């Protein structure tokens, strides 16, 4: 752990939301479990500012969680003095968009940069209780792009990132949010995973093959048809596996499921649910095509209370800016 002599007045950290495109080994007989694939996206993000202060004060959304993370980092780094933190924007919580991990890592990075410590994204994730299953949140924080992690092994540490590919600049993602529902989280999520039987060997093997031999090569070749087909099939398999704890459905939100079905019929690629949902997603080849599909989705989602957005994939990680002005 290194600490420099120079000081900065304040730090701004901005972290994008992420889509969890699926687990590909929920069997674990090879010694690892929860390998996963994910992507950071535009339009939804967490942003906060931190500065030294006469007394500690945290304001904005998720302030209680931020205060807990701030206290943990202060103890970890044996810091003296107080801080002012203003949270200006957050990713919706419990929506399958990685909000908890982004928030925790944003606080950790802000504290470290403010006090001139080197970043330790993986180490801080462990200390702050993040990355217990998926390592893609850590990977996207550091680098962005389409991230694949190798699952959790027996050693209690975040899953290692084993692949990072740039996401095509022209492609877009239609994201469907249901603000009235929440995905599984906390102790309920832990209990649910413990209650599920191991995924059959053949299903886990086929999921790994879909990722390694179809999704990733297609992405490298900018082949949306086969990339989308791989993600769609992976999602269908996972949806069937999780259906018993999702009310018998592949999707947490019936409204989102209806819109995704319409998008599938209209030519969207790779439809699915991010993590436990309720957020759904689908891919399009261009902004123009995504706008067409989003317009159809909005038409079919009238009076359903859904938030439908056209997003791009991000090929960069978190933005950490020194000296930025605190924003109101």
* 16-45 tens-digit pLDDT: 999 999 999 999 899 998 899 999 999 999
Q: Give me the CATH topology for the region 1-166+314-328.
A: Ribosomal Protein S5; domain 2 (3.30.230)
Query: Residue 13, class by beta-carbon neighbours within 10 Å (0-12 exposed, 13-18 middle, 19+ buried)?
Result: buried
Identify whether the C-beta of residue 293 lies closer than 8 Å to the C-beta of residue 284: yes
Instruction: Determine the 3-state secondary structure of 78 from DSSP.
Output: coil
Joined together, the tokens standing for residue 253 give: 């939100």
What is d(CA 288, CA 272) in angstroms, rounded to the nearest whole number?
A: 21
Identify whether the C-beta of residue 85 lies closer than 8 Å to the C-beta of residue 57: yes
Which helix (H) or strand (E) segment is 46 a member of? Answer: strand 35-53
Average model confidence (pLDDT) for the chain?
A: 90
To the question of domain 168-312 being in CATH 3.30.70.890, the answer is: yes
**What's the gap between Cα 216 and its chain centre?**
18
Identify whether the C-beta of residue 175 lies closer than 8 Å to the C-beta of residue 283: no
Joined together, the tokens standing for residue 3 give: 């600490």
In sequence order, which residues have a C-beta less than 8 Å from that of residue 318 and are 6 or more positions away?
A: 13, 14, 15, 16, 105, 106, 109, 141, 142
Which helix (H) or strand (E) segment is 190 a member of? Answer: helix 186-195
Identify whether the C-beta of residue 227 lies closer than 8 Å to the C-beta of residue 270: yes
CA atoms within 13 A on the CB side of 315: 8
Domain residue ranges in the chain: 1-166+314-328, 168-312
Cis link prior to 278 (omega < 30° from 0)?
Answer: yes
Residue stretches of the chain with pLDDT short of 50: 1-2, 4-5, 324-328
Q: What is the pLDDT of residue 52?
A: 94
What is d(CA 186, CA 176) in angstroms, rounded to the nearest whole number?
A: 23
Q: Where are the alpha helices (DSSP H) in 54-165?
A: 63-76, 99-114, 121-127, 136-142
28: left (phi over 0), alpha (psi -120 to 50) or beta: left
Whether pTM > 0.85 for this model: the answer is: yes
Which helix (H) or strand (E) segment is 216 a member of? Answer: helix 216-220
Identify whether the C-beta of residue 245 lies closer than 8 Å to the C-beta of residue 184: yes
Pairing of strands 172-178, 280-284: antiparallel
Which helix (H) or strand (E) segment is 227 a member of? Answer: helix 224-242
């Amino acid at each position: 752990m290194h600490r420099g002599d120079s000081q900065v007045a304040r730090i701004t950290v901005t972290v994008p939301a992420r889509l969890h495109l699926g687990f590909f080994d929920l069997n674990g007989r090879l010694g690892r479990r929860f390998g996963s694939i994910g992507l950071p996206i535009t339009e939804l993000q967490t942003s906060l500012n931190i500065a030294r202060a006469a007394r500690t004060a945290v304001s904005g959304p998720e302030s209680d969680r931020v205060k807990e993370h701030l206290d943990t980092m202060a103890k970890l780094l044996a810091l003296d003095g107080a801080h002012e933190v203003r949270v200006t924007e957050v990713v919706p919580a419990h929506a399958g968009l990685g909000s908890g991990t982004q928030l925790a890592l944003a606080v950790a990075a802000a504290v470290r940069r403010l006090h001139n410590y080197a970043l330790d994204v993986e180490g801080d994730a462990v200390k702050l209780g993040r990355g217990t299953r998926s390592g893609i949140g850590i990977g996207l924080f550091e680098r962005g792009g389409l991230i694949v992690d190798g699952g959790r092994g027996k050693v209690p540490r975040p899953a290692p990132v084993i692949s990072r590919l740039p996401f095509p600049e022209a492609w877009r993602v239609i994201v469907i949010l249901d603000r009235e529902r929440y995905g599984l989280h906390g102790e309920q999520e832990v209990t649910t995973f413990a209650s599920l039987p191991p995924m059959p060997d053949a299903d886990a093997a086929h999921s790994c093959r879909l990722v390694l031999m179809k999704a990733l090569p297609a992405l490298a070749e900018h082949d949306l048809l086969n990339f989308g087909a791989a993600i769609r099939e992976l999602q269908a398999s996972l949806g069937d596996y999780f259906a018993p704890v999702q009310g018998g459905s592949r999707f947490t939100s019936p409204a989102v499921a209806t819109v995704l079905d319409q998008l599938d019929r209209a030519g969207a690629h790779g439809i699915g649910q991010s993590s436990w949902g309720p957020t759904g997603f689908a891919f399009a080849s261009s902004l123009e095509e995504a706008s067409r599909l989003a317009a159809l989705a909005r038409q079919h989602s009238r009076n359903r209370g859904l938030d439908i957005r056209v997003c791009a994939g991000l090929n960069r990680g978190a933005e950490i800016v020194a000296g930025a002005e605190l924003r109101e």
